[in-house]
Amino acid sequence: MTAAELGALYQQLILDHARERHGEGLQPTGSVQSRQVNPLCGDEVTVQLTVDPATGNIASLHWEGRGCAISTASASLLADLVHELPADELTTRIGHFRDVMRSRGTLEPDEDLLADAVALQGVARYVARVKCAMLPWVACEDALRMLAAPSAPEPV
């Protein structure tokens, strides 16, 4: 990785979200929440979803956790993404994000689906850091699953 690549991993948007975190702090009123641990480092995140009772869509995502710049920025970017998405749609987008992350850099992210979270695409080339970026998304996916019917979480 050259200095240029370090910038590709830690894009300015990521550094910004790592500092100014959107959605941080759990709410007393959330609908469901899921806690996930990254086995590689022991870091963790708890993601909480609130459902809009009117539309049945996801109203907001809040989170709390401990992790690196990648994982906190990832949670923050995800919080920006969810607003008023139907649960199904959010699940699809998480699936796309996972595909990108697992692609080792061969799959371009779709900005229509991921919005600013495309900034995380550089992570895909760092196998050891993919779990960092995935962590909040896995927690979100698990929370979505609970919304449908409570079940066991899938591994990160």
Partner 1 sequence: MTSVTPTVQPEVHPVGAHRAEVDRIRDDFPGLHQQVAGHPLVYLDSAATALKPRQVLDAERRFAELRTAAVHRGAHTLAATATEEFEGARATVAAFIGAAPDEVVWTSNATEAINLVAYGFSNASTGDRLDGTDAFRLGPGDEIVVTELEHHANLIPWQELARRTGAALRHLPVTEDGELRMDLAPDVIGSRTRILAFSHISNVLGSVAPVAELVRQARAVGAVTVLDACQSVPHRPVDVHALGVDFAVFSGHKMLGPTGIGVLYGRRELLRELPPFLTGGSMISTVTMERAEYLPPPHRFEAGTQKVSQAIALAAAVDYLREVGMDRIGQWQGMLGQRLAAGLVGIRGVRLLGPAPGTERAGLASFEVDGVHAHDVGQFLDDRGIAVRVGHHCAQPLHRRLGLTASTRASTYLYTTAEEVDLVLESVADVRPFFLGTPR
Residue 101 is a binding residue for ligand FES (CB under 6 A): no
Number of residues that bind partner 1 (CB under 8 A): 26
Query: Binding ligand FES by CB under 6 A: which of 23, 33, 43, 97?
Result: 43
Q: Please report whether residue 129 would count as binding partner 1 according to CB under 8 A.
A: yes
Give the torsion sign (CA, 37, 31, 150, 147).
negative
Structure tokens at 105: 């850099």
DSSP output for 23-62? TBS--TT-SEEEEEE-TTT--EEEEEEEE-TTT-SEEEEE
Q: Which residue has the tokens 């019917």?
A: 149
Residue 47 interacting with ligand FES (CB under 6 A): no
Applying CB under 6 A, the residues found at the interface with ligand FES are 38, 41, 43, 67-68, 70-71, 132, 135
Applying CB under 8 A, the residues found at the interface with partner 1 are 1-3, 5-6, 9-10, 15, 18-19, 37, 39-43, 66-70, 126-129, 132
